[in-house]
Structure 1
Amino acid sequence: LPVMSAPPKKRANAEEESGWSAILAKALRPGADWPDKDDLLDVLYWGRQVFALVLGVIFGVIPLSGVLSIVAYVAVSTLAGQYFVVNYQGADEEQMGGFWELAKEGFGTAFATFLVSWITTYSAIHHD
């Protein structure tokens, strides 16, 4: 019988972890090559989630309120995503599906994350 270095389940998890760490390292490197556009869209999706959480906390602490805060979030989130994909990573916008495809990638869930973090932070700090 061949000797295995790790049980198959552990090896699969290790490969998965190295896959995600490799994708994260690539995401942090400007102008990285993305042969699979879905990997870049996954990075955009999860980056937008983290960005929404951070902006929600910042907006709640400042304190910002009202519809202008929502408009500001939508504008900043959309422009940051576009900048990351097109300028920082150097991907072709049309090859990625165009402006609207990038703008809506993960937008709904990120918007919900933003609202929950913003409302929770605002209520916790500024509630009388």
Structure 2
Amino acid sequence: MSSKKSSQPQTNSETVHWKKTLAKALVSGSDWPDKDELLDVLYWGRQLLALMIGIFWGFIPLHGFLAIVLYIVISTTVGQLYATNFQKVDEDSLGGFWELAKEGFGSAFATFMVSWIGVYSASHFN
């Protein structure tokens, strides 16, 4: 007996929800009644930023402790500025500075490291 799970495509409501969230994320000062939704946007934004910085650092080539410290500073600063200045949300309503700083940090750091090392190795070693 096979216990296959059927992979169902996204329903219309899931697609609409995703598009509404993306639209809110790109508009300054959007209303975020569900704070978890804003934290999800911050999480995925940090993932995208980590990938871009990792690729850029790999091509430059930037390496060593300086590259890691610069990534941490940029990632934390961009996340804070996005939430407090662009979305105009009080950081205390989201749990404070440290909650915003750590939201998705571990997985984004892993994304940064893999992309940085991969691009650096591929482009600078024959």
Q: TM-score, normalised by structure 2?
A: 0.92
What RMSD in Å do the two structures reach over aligned CA positions?
1.1
Q: How far apart are residue 99 of structure 1 and its match? A: 0.3
Gaps of 5+ in 2: 1-7
Deviation at 1:48, TM superposition (A): 0.3
Runs of 4+ in 1 over 6 A off after TM superposition: none
Say how many residue pairs are matched: 119
Superposition map of 1:1-128 within 5 A:
13-128=11-126
Tell me the TM-score normalized by structure 1.
Answer: 0.90
**How many Å separate the matches in 1 of 2:21 and 2:62?**
34
Deviations 1:79-120 (A, max 9, x none): 000000000000011001000000000000000000000000
Structure 2: how far apart are the matches of 1:95 and 1:124? 43
Structure 1 unaligned segments of length 5 or more: list them: 1-8
CA distance in 2, matches of 1:22, 1:13: 14
Aligned partner letter, 1:93: E
- The amino acid that maps onto 2:29 is G
